[in-house]
Amino acid sequence: MKKVCIDGEFYGVKCGRDKDLIKREYEILSSLDHPGWVKVFGIEEKDGEACYIMEWIEGERIDRVLTTPLSGEEIPRFKEYLSQILSALLHIHSRSLIHGDLKPEHIIVTPG
């Protein structure tokens, strides 16, 4: 994914040569209405690739935010993160969808 600036706003752009896969990802993301999933704004084909644009989430990967083992003061924060992650996963599972590539670099912790 690339970070781009359009009219002073940052967005993420994901492109791929497997147009069907990129289109399917876009369709799934555009059907989701949950704060745990990025919003997508459009898709287009260009130069043999399909690309979609999504909101840019500013933050850190979860594995860089939490230390191992967790300190006592991190446990309440960890519980909140876990609650939000489970809520996002339940949202897609209720639509008979699975993530398929869940890993720390795909979980972004935002400031605040």
The residues that are catalytic are: 101
Phi-psi region of 57 (alpha: psi -120 to 50; beta: other; left: phi over 0): beta
What's the CA angle centered on 111, arms 79 and 28, to 5 degrees?
75
Are 63 and 89 within 8 A, CB to CB?
no
Cβ proximity of 38 and 54 under 8 Å: yes
